Each structure stands twice: as C-alpha cells, then as structure tokens.
Amino acid sequence: MSTITIIGSGSMAAAKARALAKQLGAGATAGTFGAAPAGDIVILAVPYSAVLDVVKHYGEALAGKLLVDISNPVAPDRTSFVTPEDSSGAEEIAKAVPADAKVVKTFNTQFSHVLAAGPVEGHPLDVFLAGDDAQAKARVSAFVESLGLRPMDIGLLPVARTLEHVCLLSLGLMTYSIKHTDFAVGVSLLG
C-alpha cells in the first residue's frame, strides 16, 4: 500500500487537510507545511506558477518519490503556455527534481468539482496520464481506480504537452460554447 502526500491547499488538494484526514480515517494524517513529504507518492497540487519553487524547496526530500503533477502552465491570456515551446509543465518539473524521482502527469484535464462529483450516469470519469516510468504509471493508475475513476495511459512524459492542451480546450469550451464548468472530457468507447 502506498502512502500519499498532497502538497497544496487549493480545490484540487481537497482544501482542509485535517478534515480530509479525519474523513479518510485509516491512518490518514495532516502534515505541517514545509515538512518533508512522508508519502512515497507526492501529489503536487499547487498552481504551476509555484510548483517549480515548491520542488526546489523540497529538493533531495523528493529523491526516489513518485511525483504526480496536476498543474496546467497556462498563461494569463488563456491561449498559450508559460513553459518553453518544446516542453510541458511536467517536463520542467522532471528537470527540477532529483534524477531518481518519477514524474507522472495526471488529473489536470478535469475540473476539481467534476472529479469530486465522481461517476456520471454510472460511468467513471476518465483521468489521462503520461509518464516515462511504467511502474510509476501503474501505481498512479491503481490510485486513480481506487477513487472510482478510469485511468487512461496516453504515453511518455513528453505527451504531457497534449494533456496541458486539453486544459486549453476545456477553457475554450467554457468560454465560448458550454459557458460553465459542469462537464468532463473523456473517451467514449464504441461497440
């Protein structure tokens, strides 16, 4: 069984850590900000504008950890990214962490309240993931399934760029077509 540390306090980090730990029970605890991550899986639930500073702050404490990047490095114009053109937020994180840390990009293509609501009409929501380490992706996939969601592996870490573009797709749909955030992006299997 993996232990999981969530760094962040926003909507994707489930906000109130102590209340969440109490709700989860089974040995879940709330940590102290700035303390070294205890989990072997560390979910980076901070905005992309802060995530590189966060991983630099923790430095070697992230060695050997499986890091889950849920950020979207979207520029303020909501039509471009703040990362280099040939990179993604997940790849920039991978460059900034110890060499033996594994980075998996996931959870960034669905709005937090949609993920929290769970299955739609009995169908699990799709959670896409990308990463270079097959074992790390398998562990993250098992975690995703434990939440009642459907993991969908889309390839190696450079494909995380595609997942970040899905965020722009969602923002465009929200702004120009759907006009709200009560929707999910997913795959319908035919036949």
pLDDT band at 8, cuts 50/70/90? Answer: confident
Say if 121 falls within a structural domain: yes
CATH number at residue 133: 3.40.50.720
Say if 189 falls within a structural domain: no
Q: List pLDDT tens digits, range 51-83.
A: 999 999 999 999 999 999 999 999 999 999 999
Say if 113 falls within a structural domain: yes
Say if 88 falls within a structural domain: yes
Q: List pLDDT tens digits, range 112-152.
A: 999 999 898 889 999 999 999 999 999 999 999 999 999 99
Separation in Å, CA 12 to CA 27, 46, 96? 21, 8, 22
pLDDT at 16 over 90: no
Residues 22-28 have a mean pLDDT of 61
The H or E element spanning position 153 is: strand 150-155
Per-residue pLDDT at 134: 98
Say if 8 falls within a structural domain: yes
Integer Cα distance of 158 and 163 in angstroms? 10
Q: What is the pTM of this model?
A: 0.91
Say if 102 falls within a structural domain: yes
Integer Cα distance of 40 and 53 in angstroms? 20
Residues 181-185 have a mean pLDDT of 96
pLDDT at 34 over 80: no
Of 29 and 177, more confident? 177
Q: Cβ distance 82 to 75 under 8 Å?
A: yes
Domain count, the chain: 1
For the beta carbon of residue 114, count every other beta carbon within 10 angstroms: 17
Say if 182 falls within a structural domain: no
Residues 152-189: b if buried by 16+ CB within 10 A, e if exposed = ebbeebebbbebbebbbebeeebeeeeeeeeebbbeee
Residues 158-176 have a mean pLDDT of 97
Amino acid letter, residue 5: T
Domain that holds residue 137: 4-177
pLDDT at 14 over 70: no
Average pLDDT, the chain: 90
Phi, psi of 65, deg, nearest 5? -85, 160
